Chains A and B, each alone.
Chain A
Amino acid sequence: MNEYDIVIVGAGPGGSTAAKEAAEKGLKTIFFERGRKPGNKNSSGTGLGPRLWREFDFMKEINSDDCPSIREGRAARNYMIDNDGKVTGYIMTTPTASVEYEPAKSWITLNCYRSDFDPWLAKYATDAGAELKTSTLITGLLKEDGKVVGVIDEKGEKYRGLVIGADGAVSMVAQQSGLRKRWGQKQVTLTLQYDFECSASKIDDVMGDEALAVWWSATFPAAYQVFFNSSFHIGLGNWMTWWDKNPVHYLNKVINLDYMQRLIRVLEAKPREFQAHLLPWMGTPENTHTDNVILIGDAGGFPCPLEAEGIYPAMVTARAAIDAAAEAISAGDTSKDFLSIYDMKWKATSVGEDFKSGPELQSIWMALPFSPRKSMSWFVPMFMEILGGIIDWSEPHPVRIRQIARSLKKYLPQAVPFIMQEVLPLLTSVLGEEKMEMLTDPAKLMAEMPEIQEAMMQAFMDAPKEED
């Protein structure tokens, strides 16, 4: 029998962070990876956001020597695709004036392949003294008197210790500890993507500092494009309840947009790899721990409820889990009851903050970009009418404005229920009942803002009558 304090299944971002934190606390730690090296089994867009740098100091050390796929950027492009599969417009965005965290004013994401990132991160754990066993599949949980006391590998080797399930979306630890048989079909998405290779200088020339693109569409669920040093990913996903045809059918729709084909031609890009992976995506993570077991990252359902960013939550929940585990070990009590401090800990982090509005965030996303036929079919033309309507020189401008207004009116039967069912609950959850009441009651709103009241009075009420 091999005795450890902490036994971690999985060497993804969650597992490696947990291993690093545990080893640094002086806990005897081992972590297992079924791939020949960390990152071998992982597929991701791998956009790494500034939150990671705020939370984890060592992120400052990431560099292109260790991770040659790195590309960072300060801009994102948003394409709008209509019912006929045409790009009807796009907007490029950069960090706006309201961004407060200084470094985030100059970049939005650093993109890096998991085949670079995961081994890079795992090294921090082994350097801290954690033991890594690769090419090792953990096949079962070791139980005594019905309670989990460790894990068993495919060769029957046993390892005792507090078990951290960092084994991703298809989690053996979650299954065998009785925390979950499988996800609900609305708790997990299937996400598939192509990797295209092309030259770095072409991307520099064509995309500049745009590191990301989102393809918002009425004919397929929102697709993303992530640029790396000399390649890019194009992918999309949706909840298991949505697929009526093979998912590849929808991904190929993205690839075969005239606009995408043009982009592929100018970038001289070639498809190189095709990947598919489950990605948990839910409003509220539940059943996160039991006796002697804690689930972190994807295994626990922690990707962000709005856009399923999952690497940061995996690393943050890893830290919370090891804090909880260390307290449990020193108290000599690793029962489910004691380990409920884990929930308190992750809820106190910025991941917990996201999940406070989790159900509303997930719901609005599911209802809009991931319901192309139902919602994007009216949203895209409505949005483009607002954005692009005025760019027309066939009519006098007042006539155009009336035309646009009439056209927008047409979308109200779909837009109003959407606002009532999705937008208002989200705003209420984020702003609180009191502020919402103010927003929806014009008298209260005016009373709060004397300057606006003054201006409105002057503009409308005190204005001289128009001459006949």
Chain B
Amino acid sequence: MKIDHRKLQSRIPGTGDFIKIDNSRCTQCDRCLVICVMNLWKKRGDTVYIVDDYTSHCLECGACAQVCESDAIEFRFPAGGTGIVIEQG
């Protein structure tokens, strides 16, 4: 059974930016790439980045910032009343 888990969410737009990476701190440990269940972290050459349209996929789980021991990822929740809506949690 193939499930496209990336399509199984509802969202309210208008989050604004809420995740940032500071590449000068990134040690390219790849932990954020492994942990993000939505595959929003990528690497091009030796630069780690988050995809442009992350705000329309992110689950706001905070796992990327949690695993980043070098404080390269800054995460806060999106604006109140926007972002992921978990209907059957």
Contact = CB atoms under 8 A, between A and B. Distances in A.
Contacts, number: 129
A364 interface: no
A35 B78 CA distance: 10
Given A170-B77, A195-B88, A190 B61 contact: yes
A37 B8 CA distance: 20
A244 B63 contact: no
B88 A113 contact: yes
B59 interface: yes
Given A240-B35, A274-B5, A188 B79 contact: no
Contacts of B88: 69, 113, 115, 195, 197, 231, 272-273
Given A255-B1, A271-B3, A276-B63, A135 B34 contact: no
A137 B18 CA distance: 12
Interface stretch (A40-48, A347-355, A392-400): A40-48
A407 to B, nearest CB: 34
B65 to A, nearest CB: 7
A216 interface: no
B1 A182 contact: no
Interface string A27-47: 000000011100111111010
B54 interface: no
Contacts of B6: 274
Contact of B61 (A40, A245, A273, A276): A276
Given A42-B86, A170-B75, A248-B37, A194 B5 contact: yes
Contact of B81 (A36, A170, A278): A36
A42 to B, nearest CB: 5
Contact of B8 (A135, A139, A245, A272): A272
Contacts of B1: 255-256, 261, 264
Contact of A154 (B80, B83, B84): B80
B45 interface: no
B67 interface: yes
Q: Which 9 A-B pairs have the closest CB atoms?
A: A135-B81, A170-B62, A274-B5, A137-B80, A195-B88, A274-B8, A43-B89, A114-B89, A135-B80
Interface of A: 34-36, 39-44, 46, 69, 113-115, 134-137, 139, 153-154, 169-170, 172, 182-183, 185, 188, 190, 192, 194-195, 197, 231, 240, 243-248, 252, 255-256, 261, 264, 271-278
5 contacts: A35-B85, A36-B85, A137-B77, A194-B3, A246-B37
